[in-house]
Amino acid sequence: MARYARRRSADHQTSAAELRARPHEWQHVHTYRATYGAASVAREIRIGGFGGTYGPPGSFEARTQTVDDGTAVYARYVGEDGIWAHALRSLFVPERRPEDEAT
C-alpha cells in the first residue's frame, strides 16, 4: 500500500499578511488532498476564521480549484469597507447596543 508523502502545513498568519500586502490579487494559500478540506478552509477565510487571522469577516475572498495533486485554495484581500464585508460582519459579529454598555 503506497503512502502519501507528508505535506507541510499551511501557514495562515504568513498567507494573510502576504494577501494584505497585495490587495485584490489572487494568491495560492495551500493545496489539500481532500476537496472537503479545501472547501472548509476557503469558508473559514471568507468568514474571518483561524482566530481572526483573516478578519474581519468578508475582508477576504477565497475559492478552490482542482489541481493535479488535490484541491488548491486561492484567496485575495478585498478590504474591510466593502458591502460584502459589512454583510458578513452583520452575520458573524454581534452588534453592540447602547443598553449592553450600560451594564
97 part of a folded domain: no
pLDDT of 33 higher than 70? yes
2 part of a folded domain: no
DSSP string of 3-50, one letter each residue: -PPPPPPP-HHHHHHHHHHSTT--EEEEEESSHHHHHHHHHHHHTT-T
Mean pLDDT value of segment 18-22: 96
18 part of a folded domain: yes
- pTM, to two decimals: 0.75
- If one counts the domains in the chain, the total is 1
Q: Which domain holds residue 29?
A: 12-89
Which tens digits make up the pLDDT trace of 38-77? 999 999 999 899 988 998 888 999 999 999 999 999 999 9
30 part of a folded domain: yes
19 part of a folded domain: yes
95 part of a folded domain: no
pLDDT of 82 higher than 80? no
Q: Phi first, then psi: what are they for 9, rounded to 5°?
A: -75, 155
56 part of a folded domain: yes
